[in-house]
A and B are shown apart, each in its own frame.
Chain A
Amino acid sequence: MAQPDVNAVGEAPARPAPAPVRLNLQRFGLTIAFVTLVAALALLSPSFLTAENLLNVARQVSINAIIAAGMTFVILTAGIDLSVGSLLALAGAIMAGALKGGVPFALSLLAGLAAGAGFGVVNGLAVAYGRVAPFIVTLAMLTIARGATLVYTGGRPISDLGPAFDWLGGGDLGGIPVPVIIMVLVFAAAYVMLTQMVVGRYVYAIGGNAEAARLSGVNVSRYTVLVYALSGLLSAVAAVILTARLDSAQPTAGLGYELDAIAAVVLGGTTLMGGEGSIGGTLLGAFLIGVLNNGLNLLNVSSFYQQVVKGLVILLAVLIDQRLRRRGGRRRAA
């Protein structure tokens, strides 16, 4: 092998080649899955693509989507919140109980929202300062909040909550259901927080490398508390909608909702490792699950089979997603 000239003084350091244009295959893949599903359902069921049905889907999706929005923040910090379903039930019971006890409407709502956020803060404090794994903290809270709800309600639903409350679940503004409007507002705010605001940058940084974030001056503990508070608050917002739609606070409401929320977040491309993901993906993930539920109902698939199908779709979607992601390189969709 010839000996290259080692005295080539001042050789310009190789500049990196321009980055290859990479499609955001990950987001793309989920969109394809969603469009395919919608197209298939439109063909199979004539009533699917009607305005009435689509608004109905959006209304049904709203509760899970709002919880999933909070869950996205938590998962982006490499945490998890299993307590959302229980917090929903507790917040709903507190609102309904206050209302029945003669507390003014606005104050009752506020009490429920404060309860959700407050219990979320407890989660966050235990994670950030107690240094207990989020899975354990929120698993404990799942039980505590459920138990507290049963104690508070004596295990009985609190019903007949009045017309103002009813409007939040069944009313509309210019033909758009109120729950859908609330969902849109929540996602708009979450989008701004994650992409335009300092909070968002810190959330990604904490999930990506909490220690490096701390050494860069980020108050990791405070923002950790904040994301769990946000998750609790949004569970309570979901509680408003659910309680209003049923005109009743059920002590068993929200059972298993944490799993649907996590599924929506993961389907949306946010990794459970933290630091990578997007709120837009979560919305798409929630709708994918919602459309699937709706479609299977329209097709008269038994609810037993529905669960099987839903699980298979989640597994398949994430499998495909990971394939695409590996090919597209590790990137985060902002």
Chain B
Amino acid sequence: MAAAGAPPTEAKAAPAAEPILRMRRIVKEFPGVQALAGVDLDVLPGEVHAVVGENGAGKSTLIRILGGVHRPDGGEILLRGQPVAIPTPRRARELGIAVIHQELNQVGPLSAAENLFLGDEPRRWRWFMDWDVLRARAGALLDALGVPVDPRARVDLLSVAERQTVEIARALSLKADILVMDEPTAALTLEEVDRLFTIIGELRARGVSVIYISHRLEEIFRVADRITVLRDGHYIGTYAAGEIDMDGLIQRMVGRRLTEKYPKAPISSGPPRLAVRGLTAEGLFWDVSFAAHGGEILGIAGLVGSGKIEVAHAIFGMIPLDRGEIDVEGRRAAIRSPAEAIALGIGLVPEDRKTLGLVLGMSVRDNLTLPSMGRISAAGVVRKDKERALVEEAVRRLDIRAHGRDQVVRDLSGGNQQKVVVAKWLEAGATILLLCEPTQGIDVGAKVEMYRLMVELARAGVAVVMISSEMPEVLGMSDRILVMHEGRISAELTRGEATQEKILASASGRPDRGAAGR
């Protein structure tokens, strides 16, 4: 734990502490791509150091080099002042560097305790597991983080936040003094994020350095001491969190001013395209009623677990309803499957494009045409001319950037993948679009493009329903906002009257407090 130089307690006193980690002019090339062109990163003991940049800026590559996954083509790494080579992930762990990936590397059917000590199990008589010691040590480590996780619980039955806690405990058990967290809050509820930040504060107090990667800039200002910005593989600068604001940060990340982050334009709304009354799926949501009009962007806000995503899934025929009515274009509709929803002109952009939205191994073309097969085929045979026309139109309309129509979507950036998901519904003729967390995991520039697209769609008469946990985009993009709390609609706000406080209060089930607060 203690660095070669000053112990962490004195680091606070000394203003210019020696960095525990220095990455100097790191260069990494992949075939055809300069991923890193001389990037620096200095991390002080006991600081939370955020690394930000758009997708493709080189954050992940930098982290993989630090974690021993990739080897740099140039530059040097100094750990506690000593030059080191990190050829393997194992070496990284030995050097006290622990990486918590977004996709947690855990063995689902094993218990929390077993995962904690995987590869380093306490033994008895050399060949036997020492279960008592294993459980006791796991319990102690988890308790120290202040989160009640049962060491005997199967890891795949734990929540994401609990699984993350297990990973952090594992890093501590390995005596890591540099902890890298890659998008740790992507799947956490607000309460869980708060708890995570408490844990991070705890780690900082112990002198552990945390390298924090996130797309959520609001969080970065909450948790980080210093921020390093990368853009297109280049080092842009390192800033103390107090000396830079959000706009300045975004500007440095994208290299241009985003004149209008939320390009919302007023559009006169038409007749209701979708009207639901009393939708209920027991255990998920109750008595949900609303209408979505053509030309309108209807925002549905709420915390993770409020049932907002499930409402969209139910309208799309993925979840059976217990009660309630759905009218599409003024006519009663019975929707029992996604296929039936699609036939009625409903499209759904799911919250997880990789597992639900796309067939990653298929080409841009094949993904785009998947819901439109009936329209571009005759007697079961695909008409190549119609197919080509459809694909070209989609690529042009949404400015999808791919090497070609045959490029596998797995290789596209997050923003372009999301465009493919939206495009396939446009080409399928959707007039009602349900967008679930439409900008999750895509970079700032692509977000703005997605917002522009939503406005363009609304202008074309599509009813856009945006379900989002990101408060600023709900506020910035919606004509009307529904707030959900524990499976029920707790507030309906117009664009004019909505504020962050009101939404948050209603989402937490305390609407009066928000009203009083203003």
CB atoms of B362 and A202 under 8 A apart:
no
Does A308 lie at the interface of the complex (its beta carbon under 8 Å from any beta carbon of B)? no
- With an 8 A cutoff between CB atoms, is A201 at the interface? yes
Q: How far is the CA of A205 from the CA of B357 in the complex (A)?
A: 12
The residue of chain A having its C-beta at the shortest distance from the C-beta of B237 within the complex is A3
Assess A4 versus B356: contact at CB under 8 Å? Given A202-B373, A204-B366. no
Which residues does chain A contribute within 8 Å of B266, judged by CB atoms? none
Query: Which residue of chain B is the closest to A199 with respect to CB atoms?
Result: B380
In the complex the two chains form, is B255's CB within 8 Å of A276's CB? Answer: no
Are the C-beta atoms of B369 and A201 separated by less than 8 Å? yes
Contact of A331 with B by CB under 8 A:
yes
A14 within 8 Å of B (CB atoms): yes
Quick check: is A245 within 8 A (CB to CB) of the other chain?
Answer: no
Is B410 an interface residue when CB atoms closer than 8 A count as contact? Answer: yes
Q: How far is the CA of A321 from the CA of B255 in the complex (A)?
A: 44
How many residues on B have C-beta within 8 angstroms of the other chain's C-beta atoms? Answer: 54
In the assembled complex, B360 has its CB within 8 A of some CB on chain A? yes
Task: Flag if A198 contacts B404 (CB, 8 Å).
Answer: no
Interface residue A23 (Cβ < 8 Å from any Cβ of B): no
Which stretch in B192-200, B206-214, B228-236, B461-469 binds the other chain? B228-236
- B498 interface residue (CB < 8 Å to A): no
Whether A6 touches B255, Cβ cut-off 8 Å, given contacts A204-B366, A212-B355, A215-B348, is yes
- On whether A8 and B403 interact (CB within 8 A), knowing A205-B370, A215-B318, the answer reads no
Interface of B is mostly: mixed
Q: A4-B234, A201-B366, A217-B339 are in contact. Are A212 and B357 (CB under 8 A)?
A: yes
Closest partner residue, chain B, to A215 (CB atom): B338
Residues of A contacting B356 in the complex (Cβ-Cβ under 8 angstroms): 211-212, 215
Return chain A residues, CB-CB under 8 Å to B343: 217
Decide yes or no: A201 and B370 within 8 Å by CB, A16-B401, A18-B403, A212-B358 being known contacts.
yes
Contact of B362 among A9, A20, A275 (CB under 8 A): A275
A20 and B32 in contact (CB under 8 A), knowing A214-B338, A330-B410? yes
Q: Chain B: which residue is nearest A196 at the CB level?
A: B381
Contact at B361–A275, with CB atoms within 8 Å? yes
Task: Pick the residue among A3, A11, A208 that contacts B256 (CB under 8 A).
Answer: A11
Interface size on A, residues (CB 8 A): 42
Q: How far is the CA of A6 from the CA of B32 in the complex (A)?
A: 25
Across-interface contacts of A13 in B (CB, < 8 A): 401, 445
Q: Determine the distance from Cα of A196 to Cα of B380 in the docked complex, in whole angstroms.
A: 9
Report chain B residues within 8 Å CB of A218.
Answer: 339, 370
Is A213 in contact with chain B by the CB < 8 A criterion? yes
Contact between B256 and A10 (Cβ–Cβ < 8 Å)? yes
Q: How far is the CA of A48 from the CA of B252 in the complex (A)?
A: 70
Q: Is the CB of B342 within 8 A of A217?
A: yes
Q: Which of B256, B370, B401 contacts A216 (CB 8 A)?
A: B370
Chain A contact residues, CB within 8 Å of chain B: 1, 3-4, 6-11, 13-20, 192, 196-199, 201-202, 204-205, 208-209, 211-219, 275-276, 330-332
Query: What are the 9 tightest A-B residue pairs by CB atom distance, in nearest-first order?
Result: A19-B403, A208-B359, A217-B342, A216-B370, A209-B359, A216-B371, A217-B339, A208-B361, A198-B373
Binding site for A on B (CB under 8 A): 25, 31-33, 38, 40, 231-232, 234-237, 251-252, 255-257, 316, 318, 337-339, 342-343, 348, 350, 355-362, 366, 369-371, 373-374, 377, 380-382, 401-404, 407-408, 410, 424, 428, 445
